[in-house]
Structure 1
């Protein structure tokens, strides 16, 4: 399934949109913002059409949780409304793409982000704390009719376990996506294999992804060709950063590093050779539709 690219960086650097606290969900509140989001998603629907693939529509709600919402002056009710509205928008787009492009395999995902900074680990929250923290957002997605919940850019196994528990409590499928540093390890130092195995042992999600890392950084966390690793079959998706910079370097950057398309595509080929179940492919920070089209061989 095709999924989108770096929503926030695309809007900020390529379209001049102001996104305080890197939050895209406030765009849902007015017609202009919804039109921006609609145009953004349409580019990926057209990639899916050209690639003959399904489409995974991911809600612009990575920051729509209590701590980040509070920084923007948003109440719990405001956040619940935004999370519900996001699913509603994507449902309407799915119907539109079915009618206009003939896309039938469209999945709507409610996007959960980390409680803290997705580029840093400030210590692992306990699974119980994480479950309680993320429950309201997960509940809103379930009630609005999302097909699944996907937690992106998680930096610790503990928070991942909590998100899975919240999703199971509300009866909705769940995917967990870890981010990795240049050495292929989570920001808290946990190896990717260990992270998957720790979470599976306590609260197994439906599948895993890796996001917000260049293909070469993802590759560093994967075993070499011919090396056995059953956990790799659990990783079904990747969403790459365009840049080979570290997270710390990207945090300090004032420019958009759109990366080298040839290098990204080559890295993806190598990653795909080591992930036998790879199904979902898209982008993350620094990428736009041109990157995702190249990954799918249609651009």
Structure 2
């Protein structure tokens, strides 16, 4: 019997801030120094260590939601678990069906252990071709037939919603939504845009959303933008009717184009505090955009690879940053956080770490981070982004609005 908790009424469209994060592949490659053939994370489900790593990411993310009184959306590691993207790695359709089911089982297990915030399980589907430069475009009907294979499997799991991520052109999005609609599952589409705010195939975001809605009778629960810096799309956000369908942003911290990122040997780490401020400003100007996150963990470029990290078993020293972060990133994080708090002088302790700010001397602002060795999750870049978001907009905790400022923390 399927026990999806939120399938009948997905709370992320009913108000309140939700955190979303689907960038673990980038983090795994650049921080842990691991190879992910085909940029696929679902093969990690096949080993005990891989499943443990994925679960740690999910638990850590739920913890930050708990600390801020926000809901979270946990994305399954199934973005590229479709027939054409998996065939070069040697996976058959039967293998993929088992892995898609296993992915949702893992997320469901973590949610049951950690508690419901609410915590939404999103079964991810991804593009058939390169998300940023598709060589061929399917018709909507072809896309519906193609994606139905993965969608039908996810619909039989405990997923609350199925989301198509990093979609480059409207016809594929239409096919995805129609395939999801055929199962009765809630649907979500997240388009990617280039530095000019348009889809890789040239359409405006408004045109793409309107095309999907027109072809599917507005079936999708909502739309998002992912894998783009706010500077690339903030100017296209307007008061036009289609904007009410846009509910979430999974931003890149990097301002680089997709082509530049594809050629880069190191990812641009950007500024997590600035990114958080920008997301908060977007939410303030467009209150329906309340699903916020870092799409590709771009700021992890300055993290050291796992083999060169300091031991996480050593107890943290008071007043120091004890994280698997390189010194240059720590300095950048502290400087950008200090700048933020000079503009927003507030104190709010976190049970797992503190941001210490002196009202008498605002130049004295220090981030103190401690680690829990069992997590082994280098999340400073992500939590710093959320810190700035929460500090800007506040979050409801225990039925009261508080300036939710807490430190980047494992």
So what's the TM-score if we normalise by structure 2? 0.69
Alpha-carbon RMSD across the aligned residues, in angstroms, is 1.4
Shift in CA distance, 122/128, structure 1 to aligned 2, threshold 3 Å: same
Distance apart, 1:28 and its partner CA? 0.4
Deviation digits for residues 186-210 of structure 1 (CA, Å, limit 9, x no counterpart): 0001001111111111112111010
Greater relative contact order, per chain length (Cα 8 Å cut-off, separation 6+):
1
Q: 1:229 and 1:19 mapped to 2: Cα distance?
A: 41
Q: How does 1:1-299 map to 2 (within 5 A)?
A: 1-98=18-115, 103-203=116-216, 204=218, 205-223=220-238, 228-285=239-296, 286-287=298-299, 289-297=379-387, 298=406, 299=408
Aligned residues of 1:283 and 1:291 also touching (Cα < 8 A): no
Moved more, 278-287 or 18-27: 278-287
Q: 1:26 and 1:148 mapped to 2: Cα distance?
A: 22
Distance apart, 1:5 and its partner CA? 4.6
Q: 1:10 and 1:31 mapped to 2: Cα distance?
A: 19
Distance apart, 1:295 and its partner CA? 3.4
Q: Secondary structure at the match of 2:19?
A: coil
Larger Rg: 2
Deviation digits for residues 12-41 of structure 1 (CA, Å, limit 9, x no counterpart): 011112100100000001101001101111
Aligned residues of 2:65 and 2:117 also touching (Cα < 8 A): no
Distance apart, 1:267 and its partner CA? 2.4
Q: Secondary structure at the match of 2:188?
A: strand
Aligned residues of 1:120 and 1:187 also touching (Cα < 8 A): yes
So what's the TM-score if we normalise by structure 1? 0.93
Mind listing any 5+ residue stretches in structure 2 that lack a counterpart? 1-17, 301-378, 388-405
Distance apart, 1:287 and its partner CA? 4.8
Mind listing any 5+ residue stretches in structure 1 that lack a counterpart? none
Distance apart, 1:235 and its partner CA? 1.0
How many residue pairs match? The answer is: 291
Deviation digits for residues 162-195 of structure 1 (CA, Å, limit 9, x no counterpart): 0000001111111000000011100001001111
Q: 2:234 and 2:28 mapped to 1: Cα distance?
A: 28
Aligned residues of 2:226 and 2:250 also touching (Cα < 8 A): yes
Distance apart, 1:265 and its partner CA? 2.2
Structure that is richer in helix per residue? 1
Deviation digits for residues 72-124 of structure 1 (CA, Å, limit 9, x no counterpart): 110000100111100000000000111xxxx4311111001111111213343
Give structure 1 regions of 4+ aligned residues with deviation exceeding 4 angstroms. Answer: none
Q: 1:48 and 1:112 mapped to 2: Cα distance?
A: 24
Q: 2:170 and 2:59 mapped to 1: Cα distance?
A: 34
Q: Secondary structure at the match of 2:223?
A: strand
The corresponding residue for 2:403 is: none
